[in-house]
Amino acid sequence: MKKGIVSILEITDRHVKFLEARYQRNAWVLTNGAVESLHLKQDDHVQQILSQMISREKIEKENLILVIPRSQGILKQMTLPSQSAEEIRRMIDLQIVGQVPFSRDDTIFDFKVLEKDAKGYTKALVVVVHKERVHRLLNILSGVGLFPQSLGFSSFGVVASYQFVLENGNQQNDGAAVLIDMDTADSDICFVQQGQLFFSRNVHYGLKDFNFENVNFTASCKEFVNQLGLTIGTYKKERMGQGVSKIVIFSHVHINDQLKNFINDNFQLPIEVINPYEEERMGKKFKKADLFEKKMVSVCGALGYLLDDSRQMVNLMPVDVIDTKRLNSRRRSLIRSIFTIVLFLALGAGAMAVHLYHKMRYLDQLQVEADSTQRGMVNAEKKIESLRFIRDKIQHRIFFVDVINELHSLIKPQQMSLMSLELSPKGELTLQGFADTREAVNNFQSRMVEAKLFKDVNLVFVTVRKKGDGEHAEFKIVCRLVTSEETN
């Protein structure tokens, strides 16, 4: 990491938040930070604020993490019949489209494993954002010369800030806690268990609503408590985690007793108010806390990414952007190699000119090495062309679309669903899923046998399990795909 520096940016509807830390004496120390208000929502206005911030704060353009606000994403808990990370990602990719209000092509997601059980099931917390929102933020940053290495999610940063406070104060993680991070006009309600985020929700009530100068102070407090109750109710109803043992409010602004009384009267839970910027809590890592003390704004989401040394929470960077970065990195590496070779040849030529009459054999040897280098460059170009060919082939998966369409026409959604598809290089297709009955599986196999696109359809297994008052059948089918030559 360059100079041991990491920078965090978070862009909300109201603010641009910036934090910077340096690694000094085996610890990350906050060395700079700023918060700027956004008076307009237009992208050019955000870029103008960022440009001024870059110039004034001398923001390092490398080792940058962009944090996406909770209000711009969706969180879902999913329980899946696998403990393999690759299989879990494929299952989420198949199922998530039915749980979010946008198409699969517009979906960017990542997940964190919460629990694994002895039966082979995994509970995962899935973060989903719309691709258009992510590309908008990336375009804003690229317009001012900033290119983040990863995209985080604010709720994970809030939990990391809370976890650091507990560890720094030698406190225990007893049960599940509701963590409320209050920003200017909204608040993140996070459910924390054993240092992990299990669920969160954003509500449109913040520090400005709980100020006595607000004429609707009492009504705002009551409505906030109502929204908090609905959120806790959803957490309990869907059995997302352990029972809530306390409520923690993250705020450096004084929280009025009336709001705390409203919360206590409704939930009968211990309430703790934590100022995350107090030096006795943060120690040397947060010695510049006064940067935010006088502002009615929270930077806990960004702060958590500085305090968590691993920063391995989630990464919502689009796959196409990651692939482009990798390709650009290879190109830069090739250019550096070519530049090094050219520089070496130039220095060699200068030395040979001085000793021309005495170094004729040495000149011949360098010529041989230059020819070898040229052949290496040609081979490198051929490898690049091969990579481009492979990439083009991968991007045009027309045949597998036909397979998906054929399966879609054969499945009766009210009776069964597919959990995973796997196509081997030899054209062998493996399907696994659930059905209401064994008969539904047999009927589905029969329809596959009659379909023109499949052959050698074999039912590997079908296992009927009890589920409540009824039952369901787990199955695995293996078949081969009919090639275009066979159909002709």
pLDDT in tens, 1-25: 446 888 999 999 999 999 988 887 7
CB 110 within 8 A of CB 317: no
Task: Output phi, psi for 29, to 5 deg.
Answer: -120, 125
- When pLDDT is averaged across residues 450-470 and rounded to a whole number, the result is 86
| SS3 (DSSP) at 119 | coil
CATH (one of 3.30.1360.100, 3.30.70.920, 3.50.50.60, 2.40.50.140) for 398-487: 3.30.1360.100
Mean pLDDT of 387-416: 70
pLDDT at 316: 92
* DSSP letter (8 states) at residue 254: P
User: pLDDT > 90: what percent of the chain?
Assistant: 41
Residue 472: what pLDDT?
84
pLDDT confidence bin for 46, thresholds 50/70/90: very high
Instruction: Report, in this order, helix, strand and coil percent for the chain, each rounded to 5.
Output: 45, 30, 25
Q: Are 197 and 311 in contact (CB under 8 A)?
A: no
Supply φ then ψ for residue 159, to 5 degrees.
-65, -40
Which are the contacts of 375, defined by CB distance < 8 A and separation ≥ 6?
A: none
Phi-psi sector, 18: left (phi>0), alpha (psi -120 to 50), beta: beta
Best CA proximity match to 428, nearest among 403, 408, 451, 445: 403
Look at 41-50, 205-214, 253-262, 331-340 and tell me which has the smallest mean pLDDT.
331-340
- pLDDT value of residue 324: 58
The amino acid occupying position 155 is S
DSSP SS3 for 154: helix
Cβ atoms within 10 A of the Cβ of 150, count? 18
Does 22 or 242 have the greater pLDDT score? 242
**The pLDDT of residue 280:** 44
Three-state secondary-structure class, residue 321 = helix
Is a pLDDT exceeding 90 seen at residue 400? Answer: no
pLDDT band at 290 (very low <50, low <70, confident <90, very high): low
pLDDT per residue over 115-172, tens digit each? 999 999 999 999 999 999 999 999 999 999 999 989 999 999 999 989 888 887 767 6
Residue 434: is its pLDDT beyond 60?
yes
Look at residue 281 in the predicted model and tell me its pLDDT.
46
Structure tokens at 353: 């000119």
d(CA 265, CA 259): 10
The per-residue pLDDT for 423 is 84
Least confident piece of the model among 103-117, 143-157, 426-440: 426-440
Binned at pLDDT 50, 70 and 90, residue 247 comes out as very high
Confidence of residue 74 (pLDDT cuts 50, 70, 90): very high
- Give DSSP secondary structure letters for 401-424: HHHHHHHHHH--TTTEEEEEEEE-
The CA-to-CA distance between both ends of the chain, in Å, stands at 57
pLDDT of residue 394: 52
Q: Which of 68-82, 219-233, 281-295, 419-433 has the lowest mean pLDDT?
A: 281-295
Q: What is the DSSP letter of 85?
A: H
- The per-residue pLDDT of the chain, averaged, comes to 84
Instruction: Tell me the pLDDT band of 487, cut-offs 50, 70 and 90.
Output: low
Contacts with 10 (C-beta within 8 Å, 6 or more apart), sequence order? 16, 17, 66, 67, 68, 69, 154, 299, 301, 302
In 3D, which of 11, 141, 1, 111 has the Cα closest to residue 67? 11
Angle formed at CA 305 by CA 75 and CA 34, multiple of 5 degrees: 110
Architecture of the CATH domain 2-307: 2-Layer Sandwich (3.30)
Residue 144 contacts residue 138 (beta carbons within 8 Å): no
Residue with tokens 């960004």: 302
User: Encoding tokens for residue 243?
Assistant: 């029972």
Residues 329 and 332: their CA atoms lie apart, in Å, by 5
Closest CA to 192 of 156, 153, 140: 156
Q: Is the pLDDT of residue 310 over 70?
A: no
Q: Which of 32-36, 399-403, 455-459 has the lowest mean pLDDT?
A: 399-403
Identity of the amino acid at 165: V
Section 206-220 average pLDDT: 85
94: nearest Cα among 321, 460, 422, 317: 422
Report the pLDDT value the prediction gives residue 240, as an integer from 0 to 100: 94
Q: Is residue 173 predicted with pLDDT exceeding 80? A: no
Report the distance separating Cα 231 and Cα 75, nearest Å: 13
Q: Around Cβ 283, how many Cβ atoms within 10 Å?
A: 13
Per-residue pLDDT reduced to its tens digit, 328-360: 555 666 677 777 777 777 776 776 766 766 777
Distance between CA atoms of residues 348 and 304, nearest Å: 52
